Amino acid sequence: MKILVSQPQPASEKSPYFDIADKYGVEMVFRPFIKVEGLSAKEFRQAKISIADFTGVIFTSKAAVDHYFRLAEETRFNVPDTMKYFCTTEAIAHYLQKYIVYRKRKISFGTSGKLNDPDLTTALTKNKKEKFLFPVSDIHTDDSEPELDALKLNYTKAVMFRTVSNDFSADEPFDYDILLFFSPAGINSLMKNFPDFATKYPDCKVGAFGPSVAKAVRDAGLPLVIEAPLPGVPSLTGALDKYLKEQQTAE
């Protein structure tokens, strides 16, 4: 059995995907269906947003960090030492070390990965006087707006990067038994690459993480057989393990 995980390969060999591969004798292939591209400085300027106008930045992803500093450089803005950073996770906060000296900057972060995290909202509220820039992708949802509006912050959303389909080449083999997806954009990419997917690969099963991804799978008319989070299976690896165990038992 061959399983495609639509994410980059884990850096650690301790990933549960490798444990599952050993446990059931399946082959795991890591191949993202989507990729991130940054807007050029020319494209960004069309939004008439000047990075220099802001005294704080809200980050919800490492990609946002990368493209904020890239566009700052391309627009010849020297990010000052006084800039304040507000991150939805500690991992994103530590990722800032790629661009700044961590201990010398004012960095706040939450632990839940959400903008309404108590630690993060407390930090944002304490800095209400700041003018915040909120870097996002072109396919971001508007779920964040009510959370930030509730704090009565002076913030501006700025599209700095876009998510595009990571197309399959004509000679790239597609012989998978299961596909695992983590974003609706991944499903869109699949259907862009294989418009007749259901007809051409009728035996290929699909797994999805998150309700919006599951809905995209169903809307595309694809066979959703692995889903998370659900009661007892909070992760997609857990759902995959459960599915493979059931298949093994059935055999």
Q: What is the pLDDT of residues 143-163, one digit of tens each?
A: 667 888 889 999 999 999 998
Half-sphere exposure in the Cβ direction for 81 (13 Å, CA):
3
CATH 3.40.50.10090 matches 37-163: yes
- How many other C-beta atoms can be found within 10 angstroms of the C-beta atom of residue 28? 20
Q: What is the pLDDT of residues 162-184, one digit of tens each?
A: 988 888 888 888 899 999 999 89
Q: Distance (Å, rounded) from C-alpha 201 to C-alpha 219?
A: 17
**Of 197, 201, 205, 203, whose CA–CA distance to 239 is shortest?**
205
- Three-state DSSP state, 108: strand
What are the boundaries of each domain within the chain? 2-33+179-250, 37-163
Residues 6 and 182: beta-carbon distance below 8 Å: yes
Q: Phi, psi at residue 215, to the nearest 5°? A: -65, -40
Q: Distance (Å, rounded) from C-alpha 155 to C-alpha 55?
A: 10
Q: What is the pLDDT of residues 93-121, one digit of tens each?
A: 999 999 998 766 689 999 888 888 899 99
Same fold, 2-33+179-250 and 37-163: yes
Q: Distance (Å, rounded) from C-alpha 25 to C-alpha 51?
A: 51
pLDDT value of residue 144 = 66
- pTM of the predicted model, to two decimals? 0.70
Residue pointed to by tokens 């038994």? 177
Mean pLDDT of the residues in the chain: 91
Residue 16 above 90 pLDDT? yes
3-state helix, strand, coil in the chain (%, to 5): 40, 25, 40
pLDDT value of residue 166 = 87
Share of the chain above pLDDT 70, in %: 97
pLDDT value of residue 43 = 94
CATH number, domain 2-33+179-250: 3.40.50.10090
Which long-range contacts (C-beta less than 8 Å, at least 24 apart) are formed by 200-203?
201/174, 203/177
Q: Distance (Å, rounded) from C-alpha 19 to C-alpha 241?
A: 10
Residue 142 above 80 pLDDT? no
